[in-house]
Structure 1
Amino acid sequence: MSEHERDLVSPEADLDERAVEGALRPKSLDEFVGQERVREQLSLVLRSAQRRGKAPDHILMSGGPGLGKTTLAMIIAAELGSSLRITSGPAIERSGDLAAVLSTLHEGEVLFLDEIHRMARPAEEMLYVAMEDFRVDVVVGKGPGATAIPLDIAPFTLVGATTRAGMLPAPLRDRFGFVAHMDFYRPDELELILRRSAGLLGADLAPDAAVEIAGRSRGTPRIANRLLRRVRDYAEVRGDGRLTLETARAALSLYEVDDEGLDRLDRAVLTALLRRFRGGPVGLSTLAVSVGEEPETVEVVAEPFLVRSGFIARTPRGRVATAEAWAHMGLTPPPDAAFGAGALFGAAEEP
């Protein structure tokens, strides 16, 4: 399977795609579609801070990739009328890296720290003090003679984003005044996003085509916009430029994204689970070998969506196909199929 095929329905984005996404991002909370509860709560936090004339509490956003965390961080800065500084957890390898960023912030500036759960531990401990007291302690020297010099920094608002909230240490999580969880989007919300994006791209998107694309987008705006661009390409090269229902279906069929949003890797995993292992249970490593992929690829790329869609269940004995998986793949489960309550008990799952 090529990287292009796999990436089509991946919620992750490379640098080139992030540049394309920039033109489609909403610029204000009023333009932002979906996440109604988060938008309402966030609006109250920002308006209250503006009335007090102070920086708002630090904000943590959690949720899967592609759901709009970076977009909301940009909107927060825009709503506050301040600039946005962007960095990420993997880029903060030492406490000195964080001190260099914090010491150059201006008052009221917004610092967006993506993948905050991947930040180095020494930098994380420095961040505790910075968030509470707006101060960093710069250590000069080494060993017993080392001296910590306190350095005041301008009041700022930290917006942290994580796809794995459970990996955040409690002391760090507790220092955020507002925590927002980003949910997957409903199809009708994705339709609104697609119509807006089509307008910005200058594409003639039919309503039923928007419904079709939204239904295959895994509840993720990034995937919806990516599929929209591929359907647009197909319409321009093999059609008359209009994004009709027939064009959308033909394009998505060409790119092997089925009506449930499953791609080749997803179907390969289901096929192996159903045909080779009679629906399971089977361990992750065995399942990965059967489809020629690394266990991490199956666990991180394919499995989350298959579990969320109800096609696979993770049990103590291993991965088990559900009745929905058999039906979706057009297969009849054997009489001794493992799905059901009986699959929830047994030996420990294979790693």
Structure 2
Amino acid sequence: MHDDDLDDAPATAAADEAPLSAVAQHGEREVETALRPRTLADFVGQPRVREQLQLVLESARRRGVPPDHVLLSGPPGLGKTSLAMIVASELDRAIRITSGPALEKAGDLAAMLSNLAEGDVLFIDEIHRIARPAEEMLYLAMEDFRVDVVVGKGPGATSIPLEIPPFTLVGATTRSGALTGPLRDRFGFTGQMEFYSSGELEQVLARSAAILDIALDAEGRAEVARRSRGTPRIANRLLRRVRDYAEVRADGRATLPVVRAALEVYDVDELGLDRLDRAVLGALVRSFGGGPVGVSTLAVAVGEEPGTVEEVCEPYLVRAGMLARTPRGRVATGLAWEHLGLGPPAEPGGVDVTSASLFD
């Protein structure tokens, strides 16, 4: 099954209920807003993207013009929205925020563009999902800072050019391959977001704990970082769950034993796998002998949608070296058998991967 063929809604709905999903959950945006850095100097991680973006913004400031349009791509939860807000803050300009699915008609985009002031930042999240009529209008707006508004219908329709002030578009996408070539080519700068190291996540957690007034010691911070899948959003979510546990069942201090006990309650194991991850691996190993098996069959075995297994579970399991995607189907690696406390079969169907996890 190709990623583009998946229906986003079921996967997203299921992801909202998963503690280790990188997709923002319901009601989480408000908390994230309080934790977002305000400047590039405060932004932790992504050193290459930060350096490149700093040069783009500083050069534009010195020339007194809006910077080139910016495209940020990468998995969810890595800070694309935060960087978009930082761009506006660094330029001391207002930011207008929308998303690709919200721009269904060209008129929706025209209304938003007409309300921009000179130098404003327009942020479009999930820009790969923008409707084609709006995307075609965006081409002209990005290049010539004008849009053509069609008035009337049929033979009597008239196209009226509407000048818009120079602005900077910041687009974010989790699927850069889904962007059309003409749209991608109109961005002057593209930043590819990478997963965070444990050390970088510890810095994120130290800052978040200070803002939220959570007593998290260094050992506890390292433990949360190690189980956060290289994603700041997940690290901050686990931090809040650790806080809940510490306040109710401990003395309010999140020490290493308290962190471990809290994450055990929330089904997050020592490698950062949750209940659904272990269910997928367990079904693959115990029910299908390690594979190969198709994702639809595997999803039925764990009682989930195929899109949830493919988009929520598999990316991390593949990165952690526990699952391999092959032309014949999904295959459990040696690490998966080892993590489940089982020995691989005499003739395993999987790939024998015995190296450590990426985040050890």
Query: Which residue of structure 2 lines up, in the alignment, with residue 294 of structure 1?
Result: 305
Q: Report what 1:348 is aligned to.
A: none
Number of the residue aligned with 2:252: 241
Q: Is 2:149–2:162's contact at 8 Å kept on the other side of the alignment?
A: yes
Distance 1:271 1:299 in 2: 16
Query: Counterpart of 1:16 in 2: which secondary structure?
Result: coil
Question: What amino acid is aligned across from residue 146 of structure 1 in structure 2?
Answer: A
Structure 2 CA distance for partners of 1:282 and 1:28, relative to 1, 3 Å? same
Residue 264 of structure 1 is matched in structure 2 by 275
User: Which range moved further: 322-331 or 50-59?
Assistant: 322-331
- Quick one: which of 316, 323, 327 aligns to 1:305? 316
Given candidates 276, 284, 288, the residue that maps to 1:277 is 288
Q: Which of 217, 237, 255 is the equivalent residue of 2:228?
A: 217
Please state how far the C-alpha of 1:145 moved relative to its aligned partner. 2.5
* 1:177-231 Cα deviation digits (max 9, x unpaired): 0000000000000000001100011111110000000000000000000000100
Amino acid at match of 2:85: M
Pair 1:170–1:3, CA change in 2 (3 A)? closer
Deviation at 1:14, TM superposition (A): 3.1
Contact between 2:15 and 2:23, CA under 8 Å: does it hold in 1? Answer: no
Is 1:130 the equivalent of 2:135?
no
TM-score (norm 2): 0.93
User: Within 5 Å, which residues of 2 pair with 1:115-194?
Assistant: 115-194=126-205
**Which is worse superposed, 140-149 or 249-258?**
140-149
| Corresponding residue number in structure 2 for 1:346 | none
Name structure 2 gaps, 5 residues minimum.
1-12, 353-360
Note the alpha carbon deviations across 1:139-175, whole angstroms, 9 max, x for none.
1122233221110001000000000000000000000
Q: Give, in angstroms, the shift of residue 308 of structure 1.
A: 1.4
Equivalent residues of 1:95, 1:126 under 8 A apart: yes
Of 237, 241, 263 in structure 2, the residue corresponding to residue 230 of structure 1 is 241
Letter in 2 for 1:97: D
Task: Map residues 314-333 of structure 1 onto 2, 5 A cutoff.
Answer: 314-333=325-344
Identity of counterpart residues, as a percentage?
68
Displacement of 1:313: 0.5
TM-score w.r.t. length of structure 1 = 0.95
Q: Within 5 Å, which residues of 2 pair with 1:196-215?
A: 196-215=207-226
Q: Residues 6 and 264 of structure 1 are in contact (CA less than 8 Å); yes or no, is this contact kept in structure 2?
A: no
Cα deviation for residue 5 of structure 1 reads 9.2
Q: Quick one: distance in 1 between partners of 2:26 and 2:303?
A: 28
Q: 1:349 — aligned with what?
A: none
How far apart, in 2, do the equivalents of 1:144 and 1:173 lie? 33
Deviation larger for 15-24 or 67-76: 15-24
Aligned equivalents of 2:33 and 2:305: distance in 1? Answer: 32
Which residue in the other structure is 2:8 paired with? none
Stretch moving more, 198-207 or 137-146: 137-146
User: Shift of the alpha carbon at 1:328?
Assistant: 1.1
Residues matched between the structures, number: 340
Q: Find the aligned partners of 1:328 and 1:93 in 2 and give their Cα distance.
A: 46
**CA deviation after TM superposition for structure 1 residue 15, in Å:** 4.5
User: Residue deviations 1:312-344, cap 9 Å, x none?
Assistant: 110000000111111111110101111239xxx
Q: Which runs of 5+ in 1 are unaligned?
A: 342-351
The CA deviation at 1:4 is 9.3
Q: Is this contact kept in 2: 1:6–1:265, CA < 8 A? A: no
Q: Which runs of 4+ in 1 moved over 6 A?
A: 2-5
* Aligned mates of 2:211, 2:236 — CA distance in 1: 11
The answer to whether the Cα contact below 8 Å between 1:272 and 1:291 also exists between their aligned partners in 2 is: yes
Letter in 2 for 1:116: I
1:250 is aligned to 261
**Paired letter, 2:323:** I
Q: Could you tell me how far apart the structure 2 residues matched to 1:256 and 1:3 are?
A: 16
